[in-house]
Amino acid sequence: MVKRLFAVPAACVLALSLSSTMAQAELVPPEPDLSEILNSRNGEQWAIALGKALFWDMQVGSDGMACASCHFSAGADSRVVNQLNPNIDNEFGAIEASGSHSLGTTASGAVSGPNYELVAEDFPFRQLANENDRNSTILIVTNDVVSSAGSYDAEFKKVRKGKLDDKCGPASNDIFHAGGYAARMVEPRNTPTTINAAFNHRNFWDGRADNTFNGVSPFGPRDTVNDPTARVLVLGNYGRAKLAKLSVENASLASQAVGPPLSNFEMSCNNRAFRDLGRKLLATKTRPLGYQEVHKNDSVFRKGPLGNLRHYSKKGLRYSYMNLVRRAFDRKYWIAGGRYEIESDGTLQLTQKGFTQMEMNFPMFFGIAVMMYERTLISDQSAFDSCAPDTSDSNNPFCTGQPTMTALELEGLVEFNNSSCVFCHAAPLFSSASFQEGEEFVPIARAPNATAGPPGPAVAALHDTGFFNLGTRPVGEDIGGGATDPHGDSLSMARTFLDEVLGLPVSDPTGVVDPCDTDIALIIPPAGPNAGSFIDATFDGCSPNGTGAIDISEPDNFRLMVDGQVKTPTLRNVALTPPYFHYGGYSDLDQVMDFYDRGGSRRDRTNGGDDSGTGVFGEGLLPVPDTADAGTNTPGLMAPLGLGQDGKDAIVAFMKTLTDPRVQCDMAPFDHPELILNHGHWEEDLDGDGKADDVRVRIPAVGKGGFQADGNGHMCLPNDGDLLNVDLRNRLEPLD
């Protein structure tokens, strides 16, 4: 249940109140109400099967890309070739360099560019003369992003029923190329894991995947309000369809799922519509997973509650996508006759050249089905869970279960809880952007800034709960949650709240009833007389003289900490999912701890503030001018920790206890069909299509027992948090 109230988040209370035993318990994601959407006869199980097929099916993409193509390794991506995006300047390589380093190169000295193979010496992307001092001399900085290779840059023409690829136009080689031929584009942000994503209140790094699913797009009510075509089709009179609004809360995963299939960076040629994808996959010629082997012991398709769904050929399923949709969803969403188009003014038209109701509703089917599958991907059987540590003595925790954690790992738990880590990564979900079924989620929070402007007292700033600007890089390189949706509305709920206070119209209200008298939790950092406590403060946006209030008429008392904010990822399985941060600029956990121990990478200004943000409401000129009094968009919690090497090593050891062995070895529910994907390009074009040929690799199908049960235990992932460990790619079998 989501209640848009302002109170102390339950996760933070647990983090600060360490006098309890962490009893091992099943983690339960928040429950969406699908009672009127799914088929009443086993609809949930059929939706899970449909979602797993759609997630792993390479036919979903325009050129062989599946959702799983970027989420195949512990729900993330471990590839190291053709994984660089040049970011906003469209230029690869270093943007600052000194000494032996040169502009345009990587830290290893290589000339950067598309189709580059990353090596250990390239990391971290910001290297300093003194890694313990964020203001020390910069040796080299690159603003590139390590992410995931996706689709070619080409225009969509039409789908081809029963074929792997769509028909698209010539591919561009302007930015992404190999040997002069077009290469696959790389996404602009690092790929986060899908495992445990069901707990996130909102998804994507910038939070644009709304908690409320509208059946059409990632943007929830903002699209429903501003776009009259953002509707689903339901059965109306005389067997025809009519338009209706859909609103499903706690369905951020569904909102997220409908983004990548149409993204030209990720899975689609430019300008493909979801109804086109529906026409392709719902055709009788299209066999679900038809180009991929399904394991004989698959936990959903062969050994699951629905019996044998596996095709006799061992490739794909014996049910069509049309059949799976009918079994999963209520008939009112697919039974209507006729073909339809929605005019730009929201008028539904019958037309012979239109699309069926099932094709028009395909984004709803896709989003909800993939969400139902991803809701099964919950990892709660780590060593930490088995230990169930008793923290009644916060400095001497001990295991109450088996197997136990080592002395070093328990020491790491103490360091973790005594540092600022716990404020954003509290147990049991280890992300303040997440919540469980039955909990209230507080969408807006207050946290202290170091300063609002010139040197002076720390002030409170509003931000989206679970979203922070940590000062990983200047905010001008990625504005994150400070951006707007296609209609110009802010992605940030904190900024939306400010608009409400100022009397401005908003498309997706925050739910605050009285903005003149609203309690908001204020986190005080672990220093000073109020260490580790919460203070309720009144946001007084109406009275200029409210005692103890934040008065927006006095800029020194108020700030928005929104530009550059990104979602706090879970730390569960973190040792399996390098590289780190939203731009992937840190290849291992040791580098991450160096970053936190020095208080981040932002550069301090002579007159106060830093390069993480500017302006009274955190929305001044970008990039932040060197001469500006910038203030700060980072919380006061981002300060040097003074852990020392032993403390950092202990926290890394603790984080490795958050790995679920089922995720390491792809055991149920993390088993899957075969997947063929690319790992860079050959610098040649043997088939003459103008595109560099893929270096193809194969991930074998695996059943519910995981790779160990198949005698392939060497394919289990190493639990060491290092992108450059070659064993992290041990399941990528070369095909070429």
pLDDT by residue (tens digit) across 686-706?
A: 999 999 999 999 999 999 999
pLDDT value at position 498? 78
pLDDT band at residue 629 using 50, 70 and 90 as cut-offs: low
Three-state DSSP class for 226? helix
- Pairing type for strands 460-464 and 559-560 reads parallel
Asked whether 471 and 634 are in contact (CB, 8 A), the reply is yes
pLDDT recorded at residue 536: 40
Confidence grade of residue 206 (pLDDT, cut at 50, 70, 90): very high
pLDDT tier for residue 681 given thresholds of 50, 70 and 90: very high
Residue type, 539: F
Going by C-alpha positions, the residue among 304, 306, 305 that lies closest to residue 295 is 304
Q: Considering only the C-alpha atoms of the chain, give the largest distance between any 2 of them, rounded to a whole number of Å.
A: 77
DSSP class of residue 578 equals: -
What is residue 128's DSSP assignment? E
pLDDT reading at 517 higher than 80: no
Confidence of residue 26 (pLDDT cuts 50, 70, 90): confident
Are the C-beta atoms of 198 and 378 separated by less than 8 Å? yes
User: Per-residue pLDDT tens for 371-407?
Assistant: 999 999 999 999 999 999 998 998 899 999 998 999 9
Higher pLDDT, 56 or 608: 56
Q: What was the pLDDT predicted at 441?
A: 86
Arithmetic mean of pLDDT over the chain:
88
3-state secondary structure of 76: strand
Contacts of 538 by beta carbon, 8 Å cutoff, 6+ apart: 517, 518, 519, 546, 548, 549, 550
DSSP H helices in 464-561:
493-501
Q: How confident is the model at residue 77 (pLDDT cuts 50, 70, 90)?
A: very high
Greater pLDDT, 127 or 2: 127
pLDDT class of 255 with cuts at 50, 70, 90: very high
Q: What is the pLDDT of residue 532?
A: 35
What is the Cα–Cα distance from 558 to 459, expressed in whole angstroms? 7
pLDDT tens digit sequence for 337-360: 999 999 999 999 999 999 999 999
User: In the prediction, which pLDDT does 84 show?
Assistant: 98
Name the phi and psi angles at 135, rounded to 5: -100, 5
pLDDT-derived band at 515 (thresholds 50, 70, 90) equals very low
Which residues touch 238 (CB under 8 Å, ≥6 apart)?
A: none
Give the pLDDT score at 20. Answer: 43
Considering only residues 365 and 463, tell me which one the structure prediction assigns the higher pLDDT. Answer: 365
Neighbours of 135 (CB within 10 A): 14
Contact 465, 444 (CB under 8 A): yes
Which one has a higher pLDDT value, 464 or 5? 464
Q: Which residues make Cβ contacts (< 8 Å) with residue 704, sequence separation at least 6? A: 297, 298, 299, 303, 667, 668, 671
Residue 587: pLDDT band by 50, 70, 90 thresholds?
very high
3-state secondary structure of 165: strand
Residue 459 banded pLDDT, cuts 50, 70, 90 = low
How high is the pLDDT of residue 444?
Answer: 83
pLDDT of 514 higher than 70: no
Q: Judge residue 345's burial from the number of C-beta atoms within 10 Å of its C-beta, 0-12 exposed, 13-18 middle, 19 or more buried.
A: exposed
Q: Is 9 exposed, middle or buried (0-12, 13-18, 19+ CB in 10 A)?
A: buried
Place 617 in a pLDDT band, splitting at 50, 70 and 90: low
Residue 5 binned pLDDT confidence (cut-offs 50, 70, 90): very low
d(CA 230, CA 244): 9
Three state DSSP letters for 313-354 = CCECECCCHHHHHHHHECHHHCCCCCCEEECCCCCEEECCCC
Q: How many residues does the chain have?
A: 736
**Which secondary-structure segment (H or E) carries 23?**
none
**What average pLDDT does this structure show over 486-503?**
86
Long-range CB pairs of 516-521, under 8 A, 24+ apart, other chains included: 516/540, 516/541, 516/542, 516/543, 518/6, 519/6, 519/7, 520/6, 520/444, 520/445, 520/446, 520/462, 521/6, 521/7, 521/8, 521/9, 521/12, 521/442, 521/445, 521/446
Q: Residue 513 above 80 pLDDT?
A: no
pLDDT in tens, 259-304: 999 999 999 999 999 999 999 999 999 999 999 999 999 999 999 9
pLDDT-derived band at 455 (thresholds 50, 70, 90) equals very low
Residue 619, pLDDT above cutoff 70? no
pLDDT at 614 over 80: no
Question: Higher confidence at residue 550 or residue 171?
Answer: 171
Q: Is the per-residue pLDDT at 453 higher than 70?
A: no
The reported pLDDT for the residue numbered 525 is: 37
Count Cα neighbours of 664 within 13 Å in the Cβ-side half-sphere. 21
Contacts of 503 (CB under 8 A, 6+ apart): none
pLDDT at 543: 41
Number of Cβ atoms within 10 Å of the Cβ of 263? 17
Number of Cβ within 10 Å of residue 316's Cβ equals 24
DSSP 542: S
First to last CA, the chain: 50
Pairing of strands 460-464, 444-448: antiparallel
Rounded distance between C-alpha atoms, residue 260 and residue 275, angstroms:
15
Predicted local distance difference test score (pLDDT) of residue 448: 61
Which residue, 210, 204, 202, 208, is CA-closest to 192?
204
The dihedral through the CA atoms of 82, 272, 672, 734 has a sign that is: negative
Task: Give the pLDDT of residue 32.
Answer: 98
Q: Of 129-143, 313-327, 468-482, 574-588, give the lowest mean pLDDT range.
A: 468-482
Name the residue with tokens 């009644």.
392
Span 220-243, average pLDDT: 96
pTM of model > 0.75: yes
Model pLDDT, residue 535: 37
Does the structure show a pLDDT above 70 at 3?
Answer: no
% of the chain with per-residue pLDDT over 90: 75
User: Tell me, what's the pLDDT at 460?
Assistant: 62
Q: For the chain, give the percent of residues with pLDDT over 70.
A: 86
pLDDT of 494: 87
pLDDT value at position 454?
A: 45
pLDDT at 557: 53
Among 115-129, 592-606, 648-662, the least confident range = 592-606
What does the pLDDT read at residue 122? 98
